[in-house]
Structure 1
């Protein structure tokens, strides 16, 4: 990946997709959503197992370590705006994760026998839908 870099000023996590989008002139938001959906949807490949589901995370981590960081010359106002957009993304992501976990924790505490029934009968996609939607909204909001 010669010539590629991480754009740390535009990072939501490590700046990998921001750097790739900047280098290839692709839409940063669309590329982030594409990579996130790839990470989510790869878990639904029948019979794939845990090995394939962790592959996108492993690739991102290797890119994080391998790609050099590049910073832009930003004004204090632009830096403040970037920090706020990053906070917005994290807030939406945490809201999505919390929205997914709270009902299961409550059901586990109140109705232990029914929790397993829900986990084994409801498609995983539907169980992950709230968190997925909030994280995508966070990506869009962060720009």
Structure 2
């Protein structure tokens, strides 16, 4: 019951955005941590600067639009952090979750903020495939 109440409060108080993959991304770091802890799930952090770069297009084609990525729904908490905002905490947490200041980037952390595998911070087809392999072995 407590978990349900936490999730309901989170859902009502969050600003949620959707990616083309149909996944819902939380945009509040603290809420993502609370949700991850209550569900005992890791956090998949997507760091962006809002631009439509070639790297982002490659991510959408080779990761976000895949069945592997869609299958993560219900297994991870999705967190999208926009580093163009004036929120210094967002930049600091984004750097911690991806071990880089480059964007776009993805990192997988457990509910205690410990890295799971290597983050995806250099967007190439080869690195995306390695990240997909990490997701496949983790889930």
User: Which TM-score applies when normalising by structure 1?
Assistant: 0.26
Bigger Rg, which one: 1
Query: Hey, which of these two has a bigger chunk of helix by percent?
Result: 1
